Amino acid sequence: MTNQRTNPIRALVMILALFFTWPAVLAAENVILPPPEPGSFFTVFDYSRDGRVVAFDGFTVFIQQAVNMPEFTAIGTLPETFRGGTDPAFVEVSPDGNTLILGGGAGGFQFPDPAFNGAMFSMPIEGGTATMIGLFPFHIQPAFRNPGELFFGQGETFGFFVGSVELLDLKTGTKQSVVGNIPGDPGGVTFNARGDLFVGLGSASDLTRIGEIRRFDKHDINYAISTGVPLDFDNDSTLIAQVLNAGDLEFGSTGNLFVGGGDLFGITGSFGFIAEIDRNTGRIINRFDPIDGDPDDGDFVFFGLSFTSVQCQLGAVDLFSFFSPADPVVFQRKVCPQS
């Protein structure tokens, strides 16, 4: 069925606001997401293989009817027990485009009930009722390495305890630690084209380290998996950059790294922009704000990101929109040079 707007006046105001803030060609590409399910905090998104937005409101999964069109179709839900019992943390489309993995986070308004904290689900791209994979408390950002291997951060301790990056084998449902001794919560988790793993430090007891981005060589990752001995966050990695709180990481088609998030603890005051990192040097080569165009105005914005090679497009949603009565919006920007 098509998602019905409960407040068309508010939606119209949002569209008009975007129109007068951005050039028309960019405003037309922004996508208003379904609002969060009552009892959940966010609506999260990813892109399908054909470039459509896939949205998860915490209970229902929607897919855009066509690229850059406003209409969504509901394709499936979680089991009824979990209505209002997710944050949610993420929706992640598998590399082959056939499967959605839905992360329930810490359980939304059901937290700290252990029956909800960490619930993770699988759903075919065609939709239906999601199947629960297992409970992985305080899971954060995910990244597929291949259709059968999902890596994700675990932490949610606000930097006071040790976090990790876990590997979930989707064929067996088993989990093992791949990176350990993270001095706080991992932020973004992603792979480059070579297969190296990049992990952000989202929060830490040593506040001066927040926003570190570290690279783990693919051969070291494979060795850690085969031996069952996790890599050490500090000693088995290369420091690439430090920006925002490295809260979300996405590689684009050019191989450069896009960084979202925000400095939650006010150490650097870094908020309200997305950083583009040179893939070779780690240097920040670009900073941009897809909402109002000003990366230096310090807006209280925390960007979650996703990239699609279709139209070479980066999508960003402000996760702090939870505090706003307006529906969440995916702000889309083409991030490849014009040929």
Residue 20 reports pLDDT greater than 60: no
Sign of the CA dihedral 83, 146, 330, 289? positive
CB contact at 8 A, 211 and 248: no
3-state secondary structure 243-282: CCCCCEEEECCCCCEEEEECCCCCCCCCCCCEEEECCCCC
Mean pLDDT for the stretch of residues 204-219: 94
Q: Which secondary-structure segment (H or E) carries 5?
A: none
Contact 187, 245 (CB under 8 A): yes
Q: Are 198 and 188 in contact (CB under 8 A)?
A: yes
Q: Is residue 312 scored above 60 in pLDDT?
A: yes
Q: How far is CA 117 from the centre of its chain?
A: 18
Which pLDDT score is estimated for 268? 65
pLDDT digits (tens, 9 = 90+) for 146-201: 999 999 999 977 777 899 999 999 999 999 999 999 999 999 999 999 999 999 99
Q: Which two tokens stand for residue 255?
A: 């191989």
Q: Is the overall model pTM greater than 0.85, yes or no? A: yes
Instruction: Check residue 85 and report its DSSP letter.
Output: -
What mean pLDDT comes out for the span 239-249?
95
pLDDT tens string 29-40: 899 999 999 999
What CATH architecture does domain 33-137 belong to?
6 Propeller (2.120)
Torsional sign, CA 8, 67, 142, 119 = positive
Residues 287-314, mean pLDDT to the nearest whole number: 93
Q: pLDDT tens digits for 272-297?
A: 999 999 988 999 999 999 999 999 98
170 CB burial (10 A radius; 0-12, 13-18, 19+): middle
Where exactly are the structural domains of the chain?
A: 33-137
Provide the pairing of β-strand 128-129 with 99-103. unpaired
- Residue 9, judged by CB atoms within 10 A of its CB (0-12, 13-18, 19+), counts as exposed
- Residue 56: name the closest of 117, 156, 130 by CA: 130
Q: What's the pLDDT at 113? A: 95
Residue 128 CA to residue 131 CA, distance in Å, equals 9
DSSP, collapsed to helix, strand or coil, labels residue 184 as strand
